[in-house]
Amino acid sequence: MSRRVTLLLFISLAGLLLSACAAANAPAAEPVSDPPGSNNAGGQPAAPAEAQALDPTAAPDLEGFQPTASPLFEQSYRANPISDRDYSQFEIVTLLPPDGIPALSFPAFYKAERADREYLPEEMVIGVEFNGDARAYPVELLSRHEIVNDTVGGIHLAVTW
Amino acid sequence: MYSRIINGNEYTFGVSGKLIRNALVMYDHETDSLWSQLLGESVQGLLMGTRLEYLPAVMTTWENWRSMHPDTRAIQKGYVGAQDPYEGYYGGTVLGVIGVQNRDDRLGDKEFVIGVELDRESAAYPFSVLNDEPVINDEIAGLPVVVAFDAEIGAGSVWERTLADGRVLEFAELRGALMRDTETGTLWDGITGQAVEGALAGDTLSPVPKTLVFWFAWFDFHPDTRLYGFE
C-alpha cells in the first residue's frame, strides 16, 4: 500500500471512529441477549435482580468517589461480570494494523497556568477527577489517539474516544 | 471512560485498527483480547464477554473545567489550540467506512444523542430535544434517572435520581443544566452532578453510564432503542 493510500485510510478511519465516540463514555451495561430488531419493551420488565453475582475482590480501589451508590449501579458497573451478549452479530472489520493509530500511555501534564498558553478557553476537553487529582484531556488530541492510558488519583483508567 | 482494572489486574489498551459498526475496537496489551468501546465489553479473545467498569468523566470547555478545578493539570500538547483534522466528518454525509446495518430516519444520521443502555434497555436523548428540554426526568430499566444538558457547550450527563437514603428526587430546570430538586429545593449542577446550594449541598449524584454519539451509530448498535421525544 502506498504511503498516500495509507495516510488516506488513516484519516478516514480516524474520522470514522468519531461516529461512535463523540464521548469518552460508552455504556458498560447489562447484557443484551435479544437479537437486533426484537423489542423487549412490551415484555418482562427488566430485572436488576438478574445481574450476576459479583466477586467482591474484583472491585478496584474506588473508595471516596461514589457517594450515593445504588444497588443497581453496584451490581451492573462495579466489577467485571461476564456478558451473555451474542457477539456473532457484531462483524469485526480490519482497516489498519494494530497501533496504526497510536494510543497514548501515561502522557506528561502541565499545570493549568502553563496549559493556558496552549489551550483555547472554548476548547472541548474530557475532564476527570478522582481523589483530588483533576486532569484534562483535549478532545482534538483524543481524536488522533483514541485512547489514553493513565492513572488519576490512584484510579487506573483508559480515556477512550 | 473505563477502569483499566479487570478482575483485580491492571491492563493497558491500544487501538486495534478494527471496527465494529464503524466504532472503535480496542485491544489489551496483556491478552490481545478485542474490546468494543461502545459496548464496554470484550468481543473476542481470552477475555471475551468480560465487561469493563465504567468510570464517570465530564466533557466541557477548558475554561469551564479549569474554573471547576483550579488545580487541574492538562496534557502537554506542544502546540496552540486545536488540530482536529476530522472536523469535516461531523457535518458530512458519509456514514462510516463499512456501511450501516440498521438505519432510522427519525433523526438526521449525524445528529448527536446521549445514549444509555441499562439492563437490556436502551434510550437515546437527542440534542435537538435537549435544547428545548435540558433537564429530563426519566426511567430506564426501572432506574429513575435525570438527563441534564448544557446547550452552550453541547455537554450532557446522566445521573441516578435515587439518593443513598432511598429518596427519589424530581428535578426542575432552572437555566441550562442548573436544576433544582422539588423535594428539598437543593440546587444541582446537572453536568457535574454536584449539589451546589441548599439542604443537600456537598452531595453528588451517582453517574449513569452514557455515550455521546451520532444517532446513526447508536441506532446501528441498538436498533430497539427508545428515542426520547419521538414516542
In this predicted complex, what is the ipTM?
A: 0.84
pLDDT 10s digits, B212-221: 888 999 999 9
Taking residues A105-110, what's their average pLDDT? Answer: 97
- A71 falls in which pLDDT band (50, 70, 90)? very low
User: Is the Cβ pair A76, B118 closer than 8 Å?
Assistant: yes
- Residue A54's pLDDT band (cuts 50, 70, 90): very low
pLDDT at B116: 95
Render the burial of B60-87: b for 16+ CB within 10 Å, e for the rest. bbbbbbbebbeebbbbebeeeebebebe
What does the CA dihedral B199, B202, B207, B213 come to, rounded to 10 degrees?
Answer: 100
Confidence of residue B104 (pLDDT cuts 50, 70, 90): confident
Answer whether residue B19 shows pLDDT above 60.
Answer: yes
Check if A46 contacts B (Cβ < 8 Å): yes
- Three-state SS for B12-37 is CEEEEEEEECCEEEEEECCCCCEEEC
Of residues A25, A15, A123, A158, the one with CA closest to residue B212: A25
Which pLDDT band, with edges at 50, 70 and 90, does A81 fall under? confident
pLDDT computed for residue B84 by the predictor:
65
Out of A27, A72, A78, the one facing B40 most closely (by C-beta) is A27
Burial class (CB in 10 A: 0-12, 13-18, 19+), A81: buried
* Residue extents of the structural domains in chain B: 5-44, 112-227
Q: Domain-by-domain residue ranges, chain A?
A: 3-160
Residue A70 has pLDDT above 50, yes or no: no
- B21, B27, B209: residue with CB nearest A90: B21
Which 102-131 residues of chain B touch chain A by CB within 8 A?
A: 102, 112, 115-122
pLDDT band per the 50, 70, 90 thresholds, residue B96: confident
Q: What is the pLDDT of residue B86?
A: 65
Contact by Cβ (8 Å): B134, B150: yes
d(CA A107, CA B1): 16
Beta-carbon separation of B57 and A82 below 8 A? no
**Mean pLDDT of the B112-133 span:** 93
Q: What is the mean pLDDT of residues A39-44?
A: 32
- Whether pLDDT at A77 is above 90: no
pLDDT tens-digit map of B177-214? 899 999 999 999 998 899 999 999 999 999 998 988 88
The verdict on A92 touching B (C-beta cutoff 8 Å) is yes
Find chain B residues with C-beta within 8 A of A48's C-beta. Answer: 119, 141-143
- The domain defined by B112-227 carries CATH number 3.40.50.10860: no
Distance from CA of A115 to the nearest CA of B (A): 6
Contacts of B185 (CB under 8 A, 6+ apart): B198, B199
Taking the model in full, what pTM does it have?
0.75
Query: How far apart, in whole angstroms, are the C-alpha atoms of residue B76 and residue B55?
Result: 23
Average pLDDT, chain A: 67
pLDDT over 60 (residue A35): no
Say whether residue A88 is in contact with chain B using an 8 A CB cutoff. no
B89 with A18: Cβ contact below 8 A: yes
Give the pLDDT of residue A2: 42
Nearest CB to A80; choose among B51, B120, B216? B51
pLDDT tens-place string over residues B47-88: 999 999 988 888 888 998 998 899 999 999 988 877 666 666
Determine whether A29 is exposed, middle or buried from the number of CB atoms within 10 Å of its CB (0-12, 13-18, 19+). Answer: buried
Put simply, the answer to whether A96 touches B17 (Cβ < 8 Å) is yes
Tell which A residues from 47 to 66 touch B, by Cβ distance under 8 Å: 47-48, 50-51, 55, 57-58, 60, 66
| B 169-198 residues inside an 8 A Cβ radius of A | none
Asked if the Cβ–Cβ distance from A119 to B69 is below 8 Å, we say: no
How high does pLDDT run on average in chain B?
A: 90
Picking from B40, B15, B225, the residue whose alpha carbon sits closest to that of residue A87 is B40
Q: Given this model, what pLDDT does residue A78 score?
A: 55
Of the partner residues B22, B142, B226, the one whose CB lies closest to the CB of residue A48 = B142
pLDDT at position A19, please?
Answer: 42
pLDDT at B10 over 80: yes
* Mean local confidence (pLDDT), B93-108: 80
Nearest to A53 by CA among A37, A35, A65, A71: A71
